[in-house]
A and B are shown apart, each in its own frame.
Chain A
Amino acid sequence: MAFFSSTSPHQQTKRRTPEIMKMVVFALLPGIIVHSYLFGLAIYVQIALAVITALLAEAAFLALRKRSILKSIKDYTAVVTAVLLAISIPSLAPWWVIVIGTLFSIIIVKHLYGGLGQNIFNPAMAGYVLLLISFPVQMTAWLPVQSMQAFSVSFSDILSLIFTGFSIDGYSVTQVKTSIDGFTLATPLETIRNAIHSGETISETLKTTLFSSDSLQGSQWVNLAFLAGGLLLLKKQIILWYIPISFLAGVIVFSFIPFASDPDLYSSPLYHLFSGATMLGAFFILTDPVTASTTVKGRIFYGLLCALLVVVIRNVGGYPDAVAFAVLLANMCVPLIDYYSKPKVYGRRRK
């Protein structure tokens, strides 16, 4: 019996950055499709705007830095950043919101830190935080699911809303998102926060119009679709399980503690798991190979840290969703985490 012998490296698949990034975009598709089915086609306009802006900015900065433009553009990293940012913001936000966010992500967060592989912070999330802090009104104008919208919004209406701020019939975004019953809609997470601040309990809030209809389910379906895409990435071994699993487990455990102490004031773990950007964060944002921790122990700790931050910020912080802030804060800790979780070199004596 002859054994095939070869020198290292023994891994045979030749996976380069472009293929990995293409897979990531592909895995995002289920989430995007479900989102557009439930909330309208506007998300595609945002994605197109973001991708075009990102590619132009990337090309311009590569030219300024005298790097080969085509090679770097073709690695799709800018596209992934742009898509992640575009699906994080409200889909009817004006065009300049996504343009400013993408420019900031690509130019300041990525290229000024030294380009691909050098950035400390996740570009998409840094761009998102910039937008959230700078334009709170536009960044919280979330649409209810289509079946709850006051007017049926056609594709030309969407274009007109994004580029001029008004639909063809002259309705503003605020009017469009106000449904027949005359209540405005924030994200479910935000509604719960406001209700608790005004003294209601969670179970009371969940009985209101917003939650009795399928809007909450809307964001849950999107989360499920991102979970499916994420599982595909795991299956293809584009990402390793350490970060997503430790993050999701962390969210369950950390959100259970306050929930168990007072279920009237704090949402259940299941609710935390399937609302906001939890799934998108777990599989697509936290696992960014550049800004996440790189050691096994470090990755687990990184996931847990993010989970803790998400739960704390959601429960007591000032903003409705927390994944972006949690990721940026954890990004800052990554060098330290990596330093203390360095694996032992093989053959070295234990102390």
Chain B
Amino acid sequence: MPQETGHNTAKDMDMNEEIAAEEIVTEPVNDSAVYKELSLQGLWKNNPGIVQLLGLCPLLAVTNTLTNALGLGLATLFVVISSNILISLIRHHVPKAIRIPVFVMIIASLVSCIQLLMNAYTYQLYLSLGIFIPLIVTNCMIIGRAEAFASKNNVKHSAFDGLMMGLGFTAVLVLLGASREILAQGTLFDGIETLLGDWASFMTVTLYNTDTSFLLAALPPGAFIIMGLIIALKNIIDNKITNK
């Protein structure tokens, strides 16, 4: 038993040193360069949706309309920014051995907040997203950012990283939701008033009228196929850029 503890402390010390080293490297660098890199990583190079393929469960399950996608995207964005800030604030005070449970507790309480808020203010959307709001807790993207970035970097950078990762995730959700909604029903922003309130109902656009909806796009297989096509599109663009 004592041996094991000794081993653990040694390992923890190592990790602390690593973190410290990383901070020393990032701090003095020009701040705007850091922000630029963080945006590039979050929105494109390391996009949680189409590159890291994290959080696929909500990504595929609730993107049958643009409104649902946007709703879940914003909820996730809120959670990832706040969790990054909180975890970055307490990063020096959390014992390494129990950091994951601590992170999960923080994320879970944030998700409970957003769930109660959505229940109170966007009840229809809350109903249509259903189980996928509480499931934000298990979104690997959030715990991933907490572990990989927020627990090693200062608050400002962590908050910005959360913003960019969340935006990247939301962008994929919105793209997927929009294409599925267009294919399935020929509309955009159908039911947007459940997210933004009645004033927004003018945003609903009907692109074409159809008696027979293309059901596949609204069903899970359609989500997988369109997701694959989006990833392929990103790879094509990347190849074009590197070939230039």
A-side residues, CB < 8 A to B, are: 100, 108, 112, 130, 133-138
Contact = CB atoms under 8 A, between A and B. Distances in A.
B113 interface: no
B215 interface: yes
Interface centre among B212, B217, B221, B225 (most CB of A within 10 A): B212
B219 A133 contact: yes
A130 B219 CA distance: 11
Interface residues of B, number: 9
A74 B98 CA distance: 65
Nearest to A97: B212
Interface in B190-244: 212, 214-217, 219, 221, 225, 228
A133 B215 contact: yes
A347 B217 CA distance: 53
B216 to A, nearest CB: 4
A133 B222 CA distance: 11
Nearest to A130: B216
A94 to B, nearest CB: 9
Contacts of A138: 212
B225 A135 contact: no
Contacts of A130: 216
Given A130-B216, A133-B215, A138-B212, 9 more contacts: A108-B225, A112-B228, A133-B216, A133-B221, A134-B214, A134-B217, A135-B212, A135-B215, A136-B215
18 contacts: A100-B214, A108-B225, A112-B228, A130-B216, A133-B215, A133-B216, A133-B219, A133-B221, A134-B214, A134-B215, A134-B216, A134-B217, A135-B212, A135-B214, A135-B215, A136-B215, A137-B212, A138-B212
Contacts of A133: 215-216, 219, 221
A51 B212 CA distance: 24
Contacts of A135: 212, 214-215
Interface string B16-39: 000000000000000000000000
A283 to B, nearest CB: 28
B232 to A, nearest CB: 8
Contacts of A108: 225
Nearest to B214: A134
